[in-house]
Amino acid sequence: MLHLAGIESVILEQRSREYCEHRLRAGMLEHYTAELLSDVGLDERLKRQAFAHEGFELRFGGERHRIPMADLTGGCKAVMYAQTEIVKDAIAARVDTGDPLLFEVSDVRLDGVLTDRPAIRYRHDGRDHVLQCDLIAGCDGFHGVSRPSIPADVLTTYSRDYPFAWLGILADVEPSTFELLYGAHENGFALHSMRSSKVSRFYLQVRPDENLAEWSDNRVWEELQTRLVTDDAWTLAQGPITKKDVTPMRSFVTEPMQYGNLFLAGDAAHIVPPTAAKGLNLAVADVCLLADGLVTWYETGRRELLNAYSDVALKRVWRAQQFSRAMTSLLHHDPQDNMDARLQRAQLHELVTSEAAMTAFCQNYVGLPFAGRVHHSVRASPVR
């Protein structure tokens, strides 16, 4: 987005290009995320390979309930396109511009973030470097150096660890569904998703300390079938399982998301449980808002949008946190709390029988419009 506006930037990445392009990540794009990728020209492969979903299915009590998402949100859809593929597209586009993109950078330190010329010290190709810049965007994840570069007494953090995790399964098998299936079962939550027309992605609720060795392929398929079963004899297609991993679930938010000329975005500032697939989409919303502030500043010299970045971004972050927590509570089973199970069932029934409840749910599910957009008019008049 900055390149399209004529703003020069340098990207420093700790990992190798191969690692970035092959790390398995989430795959559901909100309506406005997919729209933005189109706006900035990163949708060539997306248009060929992605699945656009107009609804999804909730399963509980042996019954299936389709939620007509697009009908309830003015045509908004969810798009299935793996984050890994977005990273490939973005890296390729960046390389094509010739702008600096440095992989395998180490020993990164941020200096002078309260000044108008902050610096980044780093090591690359066996040499030490100092990069002076106008601003720093800390898009380096939860374990990066950006957030720790802000004094601890400036930040307030909020966090919650959940008493369950997800067992993720990747299988070489044609998806058994054309839309996402969410299953709420007394054995725990299950999700059937897809990566392509020949690769399926599944998730099962497990313990945070789950031992992968206890999950044979046969046990995985049996449990998926059990948790997604319906009374109409639906069956799950099976195939070779190529990957299994356990992902813990947590919520995390840090405030503020800016300090001087350092701006946090994505996992550096917030983490959501994966149930509502908001992590990637929140990161895109962050950088869209930040790019808007940067373009406005370089064009006009006015910093109002930049100064308001944290406040505006956090409004969306907290709404996504609330929805992610609500969706997690709705679908995950706690065997120690039988009253909670009955409350879940009441909520599920309300969701599938009340158009008002269904509409509110879908509006959050497909995502809110972005607060900032880098418009085509910006590209026509680049600034430097």
Residue of higher predicted confidence among 26 and 377: 26
User: Is 53 an active-site residue?
Assistant: yes
| Mean pLDDT over each residue of the chain, to the nearest integer | 94
State yes or no: pLDDT of 75 exceeds 80.
yes
332, 166 in Cβ contact below 8 A? no
Write the CA distances from 213 to 188, 205, 245, 246, integer angstroms: 19, 16, 11, 11
Q: Which helix (H) or strand (E) holds 263?
A: strand 262-264
State yes or no: pLDDT of 296 exceeds 90.
yes
Peptide bond just before 256 cis, omega within 30 deg: yes
Closest CA to 83 of 174, 156, 172, 22: 22
> How much of the chain is in helix, strand and coil states, percent to nearest 5?
40, 25, 35
**Burial degree of 339 (CB within 10 A; 0-12, 13-18, 19+):** exposed
263, 149 in Cβ contact below 8 A? no
Order of strands, sheet of 51-53, starting from the edge strand that comes earlier in the sequence: 28-29, 78-80, 51-53
Cα distance between residue 338 and residue 335, in whole Å: 7
SS3 of residue 136 by DSSP: strand
Label residue 115 by pLDDT band (50, 70, 90).
very high
Catalytic annotation, pick one of 32, 122, 162, 182: 182
- Residue partners of 148: CB distance under 8 A and separation at least 6: none
User: If you search the block for the tokens 């007494």, which residue do you land on?
Assistant: 153
Q: Which helix (H) or strand (E) holds 284?
A: helix 279-300
Label residue 375 by pLDDT band (50, 70, 90).
very low
Residues 133-141, mean pLDDT to the nearest whole number? 97
Write the CA distances from 97 to 3, 43, 49, 147, 368, integer angstroms: 8, 17, 24, 29, 31
378, 294 in Cβ contact below 8 A? no
User: Is 77 an active-site residue?
Assistant: no
Q: What is the pLDDT of residue 341?
A: 87
Q: What is the pLDDT of residue 373?
A: 60
User: Is 162 an active-site residue?
Assistant: no
- Please state which of the ranges 79-83, 132-136, 330-334, 377-381 shows the lowest mean pLDDT: 377-381
Cα distance between residue 73 and residue 93, in whole Å: 32
Convert 74-99 to b/e letters by CB count within 10 Å (16 or more is b). eebbbbbbbbbbbbbbbbebeeeeee
Convert 153-186 to b/e letters by CB count within 10 Å (16 or more is b). eebeeeeeebebbbbbbbbebebbbebbbbbbbe
77-93 per-position pLDDT tens digit: 999 998 999 999 999 99
Residues 263-277, mean pLDDT to the nearest whole number? 97
301-335 per-position pLDDT tens digit: 999 999 999 999 999 999 999 999 999 999 999 88
**Burial degree of 289 (CB within 10 A; 0-12, 13-18, 19+):** buried
pLDDT > 90 fraction of the chain, expressed in percent and rounded? 90
182-234 per-position pLDDT tens digit: 999 999 999 999 888 899 999 999 999 999 999 999 999 999 999 999 999 88
Give the DSSP letter string of 195-246: SSSS-EEEEEEE-TT--GGG--HHHHHHHHHHHH--TT--------EEEEEE
Length of the chain: 384
Catalytic annotation, pick one of 77, 185, 270, 278: 278
Query: Helices (H) and strands (E) in the chain — how many of each?
Result: 12, 19
Class of domain 11-160+250-380: alpha beta
User: Is 365 an active-site residue?
Assistant: yes
Catalytic annotation, pick one of 81, 185, 274, 333: 274
Q: What is the pLDDT of residue 383?
A: 45
196, 172 in Cβ contact below 8 A? no
Label residue 25 by pLDDT band (50, 70, 90).
confident
275-285 per-position pLDDT tens digit: 999 999 999 99
The one-character DSSP state at 159 is E
The one-character DSSP state at 116 is S
Catalytic annotation, pick one of 31, 32, 53, 77: 53
173, 238 in Cβ contact below 8 A? yes
User: Is 158 an active-site residue?
Assistant: no
Cα distance between residue 71 and residue 68, in whole Å: 6
Q: What is the pLDDT of residue 207?
A: 94
